[in-house]
Amino acid sequence: EGLAPFMNPRNAAAGSLKMLDAREVAKRPLQAILYAVGRLEGLDFDQHLQWLDQVREWGLPVSPRLWSCRDLFEVMAALDELERQRHDFAFEIDGAVIKVNERGLYEMLGRTARSPRWARAYKFEPERVATRIDDITVQVGRTGVLTPVAELRPVVLAGSTIARATLHNADEVARKDIRIGDVVWIVKAGDVIPGVESVIQEQRDETVRAFSMPPECPACGGPVTRTGEEVAHRCLNPVCPARLVARLEHFTARNALDIEGLGGKVAEALVSRGMIEDPLDLYDLSVARLALLNLAEDEGRRLLGDKQAAKILAALDRARHLPLARWLAAFGIPGVGVTVATQIAANHEDLRAAFDSPWLRKIVRLQELAEHAPRLNPRAREPWSASRSTAQFPDLPSCFEKACQEIEHLGNELISRDLAKRGMGSSRPSKFICEIKPEVARAMIEFGRSEGGRRLLERLEGLGIRPRGGLRSETSDGPLAGLTFVITGTLSRSRDEIAAMIRSAGGKVTDAVSRQTNFVVIGEAPGKSKIKRAMQHAIPMLDEAQLKDRIERP
């Protein structure tokens, strides 16, 4: 039809699925391969391979090649065989996925925000292509970190045109000896993220120029510093416009407050027009004022409009009722992503409890002691047991013995709490278990104590925003304590919000109905299999009003 051809099948398929007109999508010859299950209702499988066999029996497409491996040697052999066959398939592949077959282990292994821990991706050696670095520019992130970026002569790699690639930090530039004007090898990490692999030294000439990080922020002109052993250079200006734009984009992202319509262009315009100085200033905007926001970059005029402004403010109003985990993820605290925010929120009642958490303080204290104890006694490689250490070295100073005792006490406290949360009783592992890292716990505590953190809490309370976590309090059992709920159907609020409400009252929420379920909360169009299973086990069913009454009942 005279149109530009698609770059590759993957991008064409992804772009097709994002189209709003389903009739246009239907014209395109899309095909699917089913490789995993998102949700199971009314049937169960002990093994992943059993599920794939059932899907194949139903006549649905699955991967043309599967390997069942008994050990890692067979896994390696299968990967080698797949790499030999990779160009024989009717579609492109960039690697393999290795999965645990026993589905019963999935919940125990858990998942991160990006991927499950019971599956791992193995990527083939990436394609690479040579191009020249025309310049190195510097970007400023939401935490003030300055990142050098290679401005490349555009080149096609793995189905897309690459014109820029991150260089990460100044140390990485120095380690690879990258200079402006160099010819370099470009690769895509995981066939997705472009990066500079290495310099082609034999093509370097006298025109190349060395790069150094700027002494001033390129966005605001403020001072730039590098502290301690940190590799990052940071802008110290807290009101740097580049930092504010990045913070605003993070604050409104899908995994945070999910404010649709407030992307990069709108965020940049809000900051450049001086309409906000903090993400929470969004709550001070009216439809009339926001509608007049000029999105044009030059002297032109392109207003946001009433319809889009109303849509953004409606999304902000919905965000008032989001659970604590989503708000924690929105703040941009170092190390507190979606998974960590969910873990912290599940263990605390609200923001004040999370920022002043005795458990986070104990995690930090345990780390401090573990680092300090070897300095008290260089002979102790792992001083977890006071009795063992003092018996082995009777001449140790008393301060070391006290440190060991405190380590053991804190470790036991955190272990028993962690195992109780996992439903594993009181059996004690050989080492301390905790998924919250000390540096993350420290970042949470420092943020809560900072002037910005205190101001944030006051501002949220003034706006009437009080996000709730998974515990009513550290000492209160709550009206739903000891009860397990399953939610099905469409309710007045999202399933996440209803689940957060149940957890904040001391209850537990699971996906599947079982003999351990105490109540099923039903909305419109509930799942038939859940209703059937609830009736089989004589499990009471509640509507949303009845659930609310149980929570608020004195």
3-class DSSP state for residue 352?
A: helix
* Amino acid at residue number 310: A
What digits encode the pLDDT tens for the residues 127-145?
889 999 999 999 998 888 9
Q: What are phi and psi of 53, to 5 degrees?
A: -60, -40
- Candidates 311, 361, 353; CA nearest to 328 is 353
CA atoms within 13 A on the CB side of 60: 12
How many angstroms separate the first and last alpha carbons of the chain? Answer: 70
| Amino acid in position 135 | D
| Alpha-carbon span 552 to 501, nearest angstrom | 11
- Per-residue DSSP letter, 467: -
Residue 413 dihedral angles phi and psi, to the nearest 5°? -60, -50
pTM equals 0.61
Diameter of the chain measured on Cα atoms: 87
Give pLDDT, residue 393. 38
Q: Three-state SS for 148?
A: strand
**What are the phi and psi torsion angles at 308 (to 5°)?**
-70, -40
Listed as ranges, residues in the chain with pLDDT below 50 are 383-400, 418-434, 472-476
Predicted confidence at residue 405, as pLDDT, reads 58
Q: How far apart are CA 214 and CA 139, in angstroms?
A: 11
* d(C-alpha 354, C-alpha 504), whole Å: 13
Instruction: Compute the C-alpha angle 475/481/486, nearest 5°.
Output: 140
Query: CB of 159 within 8 A of CB of 187?
Result: no
For 434-479, the pLDDT digits (tens) are 467 888 888 999 988 888 888 899 999 999 998 988 654 433 457 8
Q: What is the CA radius of gyration of the chain?
A: 28
Cβ(546)–Cβ(479) below 8 Å: no
Beta strands in 145-219 (DSSP E): 145-157, 160-166, 183-189, 193-199
Decide if 296 contacts 302 (C-beta within 8 A).
yes
Question: What would the two tokens of residue 34 be?
Answer: 């089913």
Neighbours of 399 (CB within 10 A): 12
Residue 118 makes CB contacts below 8 A (sequence gap 6+) with 99, 100, 105, 106, 109, 111
Q: Is 189 exposed, middle or buried (0-12, 13-18, 19+ CB in 10 A)?
A: exposed
Closest CA to 448 of 341, 347, 333, 339: 333
Token digits for 352?
A: 């004040």
Which residue shows structure tokens 């490349």?
Answer: 152
Beta-carbon-side half-sphere exposure of residue 316 (alpha carbons within 13 Å): 23
Contacts of 204 (CB under 8 A, 6+ apart): 179, 182, 183
- Is residue 76 within 8 Å of residue 90, measured between CB atoms? no
Whether 513 and 480 have beta carbons less than 8 Å apart is answered as: no
Tokens encoding 186:
């470009």
Q: Which residue from 450, 439, 432, 427 is spatially nearest to 383, judged by alpha carbons? A: 432
SS3 101: coil
Q: Strands 508-510 and 193-199, how do they pair? A: unpaired
Q: How does DSSP classify residue 34?
A: B
Q: List, as own/partner pairs, every contact residues 524-529 make where C-beta atoms lie below 8 angstroms and the sequence separation is at least 24, other chains included.
A: 524/489, 524/490, 524/491, 525/489, 525/490, 526/488, 526/489, 527/41, 527/488, 527/489, 528/42, 529/41, 529/42
Q: What is the CB neighbour count within 10 angstroms for residue 500?
A: 25
Query: What is the pLDDT, as a whole number, of residue 395?
Result: 41
Q: CA 155 to CA 161: how far, in whole Å?
A: 5
**pLDDT at residue 330, as a whole number:** 92
